[in-house]
Amino acid sequence: MIKRTIHYLLGQLHTVIGVIAIFHFSCVVIPIMFLISICVGTFSTKTSRLLIAKHIQRYWFELTSLVFPPTKLVISGELPDANASIVIANHQSDADWWYVWELACVLKRHGNLKIILKEEVAHIPIIGWGIRLFDFILLKRNWTSDRTKLKAKLASFAKDNFPMMLLIFPEGTTINTTSMEKCNAFAKDNSRPEHTKVLVPRSKGLEGCLASLPKNGHGYNVYDMTIAYSSYTGEIPTWEMGYTRNKDLEIPSISKMMKFETCKEVHIHIKMATAAQVLENTEQWLDKAWSEKEFLMTHFASHQSFPEDICGRKLQYQIKHRWSVFSMVCFPSLLPLYIIQKLLLLTLGQSK
């Protein structure tokens, strides 16, 4: 009981210091990005974009990863190549995007990841400024106005030959009993497949992204990722539960990660298609892809792994904290975090 109480209090303290640390990191990198945007971007947006991606965005990610607990990635399928591409995935938790970013880091492409976000996120002080300078795409969820902004941004990436990995969640929201009921009602009314482990994907966002690319996405690939977390049994939380679970206790959330609560393994299976294949009939392509996800997630719920006969050889990457010379700039924030993380491991009896 005493150990649990101490662990709980340390988790809360880690959250507070973690938030301060992320703001500290952001305060360090944002002025640098701003200067690059003004001094270099005035003459060459391509050079400015590459400098921010190769150095600043990568360093920010690596510093932020020091706040979160390390985990193991178990990867199967076709890894994204170095060219510009679209990445799509199922959406179980608010932490899904982080593990796609971790995968991009394994591929040495964590400076190239771009995420489509709600425009409101950009209003968060300091963090929002960084999101804009990182070139993330901010949408209002009003297709009339979003289409023009999306097309201009993607055309800008293409003009600069920027090798983006653009992340989209076609389900549009994380899974819960309410969203599941609404999605299956939508599927029934539109003669589309209903699911129990994933939500029905919407085609407009993906189709709009591909159609907004130069030459209708000719030469681009779409990487379809199925994400599952250790302990997953298929439990679907209620709306009121948010991102918590009663049984599937290792399913991560940003809140749990800020408390340094880890998910032992993150399994990601990747399947590649060309943009042309997807655009033949985006809705049908998504329905087939999500039916395959339903099968994969059902198998994972019973076996804690994806089926080997479909997924083939699996690569394992132990994600560790990435300390660098740049970390020393933020040492005042990182030192207390490091101490609390060691104490958290001790209270769990996991220190080595």
Token representation of residue 165:
């990995």
Tell me the CB-side half-sphere exposure of residue 76, using CA atoms within 13 A: 17
Residue 171 CA to residue 168 CA, distance in Å, equals 9
Q: Identify whether the C-beta of residue 244 lies closer than 8 Å to the C-beta of residue 235.
A: no
Quick one: how far is CA 2 from the chain centroid? Answer: 36
Q: Identify whether the C-beta of residue 251 lies closer than 8 Å to the C-beta of residue 243.
A: yes
First to last CA, the chain: 23
User: Measured on CA atoms in the order 276, 281, 283, 286, is the torsion positive or negative?
Assistant: negative
Top mean-pLDDT range of 140-154, 242-256, 283-297: 283-297
CATH number at residue 230: 3.40.1130
Give the residue among 258, 207, 221 at the shortest CA–CA distance from 81.
221
Instruction: Note the pLDDT tens digit of each residue in 115-168.
Output: 988 888 777 777 787 888 899 988 887 777 788 888 888 989 999 999 999 999
Please give the pLDDT value at position 125. Answer: 74
Residue 343 CA to residue 28 CA, distance in Å, equals 28
> Is residue 332 packed enough to be buried (19+ CB in 10 Å), middle (13-18) or exposed (0-12)?
exposed
Is residue 25 located within the same domain as residue 76? Answer: no
Cβ-based neighbours of 156, under 8 Å, separated by 6 or more? 45
Is residue 285 located within the same domain as residue 344? Answer: no
* Mean pLDDT score across all residues of the chain: 90
Is residue 64 located within the same domain as residue 93? Answer: no
- Look-up: residue for tokens 């379809």? 224
Residue 49: domain span: 1-69+322-352
Give the residue among 213, 222, 175 at the shortest CA–CA distance from 195.
175
Is residue 20 located within the same domain as residue 81? Answer: no
Percent of the chain clearing pLDDT 70 (strictly above): 98
Cβ-based neighbours of 228, under 8 Å, separated by 6 or more? 92, 266, 267, 296, 297, 300, 306
Is residue 193 located within the same domain as residue 332? Answer: no
User: Measured on CA atoms in the order 51, 53, 56, 62, is the torsion positive or negative?
Assistant: negative
Query: What would the mean pLDDT of 226-249 be, rounded to a whole number?
Result: 94
Is residue 43 located within the same domain as residue 172? Answer: no
pLDDT band at 208 (very low <50, low <70, confident <90, very high): confident
Number of domains observed in the structure of the chain:
2
Count of C-beta atoms within a 10 Å radius of residue 335: 12
Q: Identify whether the C-beta of residue 319 lies closer than 8 Å to the C-beta of residue 102.
A: yes
Is residue 21 located within the same domain as residue 47? Answer: yes
Instruction: Note the pLDDT tens digit of each residue in 313-328.
Output: 899 999 887 776 667 7
Token representation of residue 232:
């997953």
pLDDT band at 91 (very low <50, low <70, confident <90, very high): very high
Query: What would the mean pLDDT of 173-202 be, rounded to a whole number?
Result: 95
pLDDT band at 351 (very low <50, low <70, confident <90, very high): very low
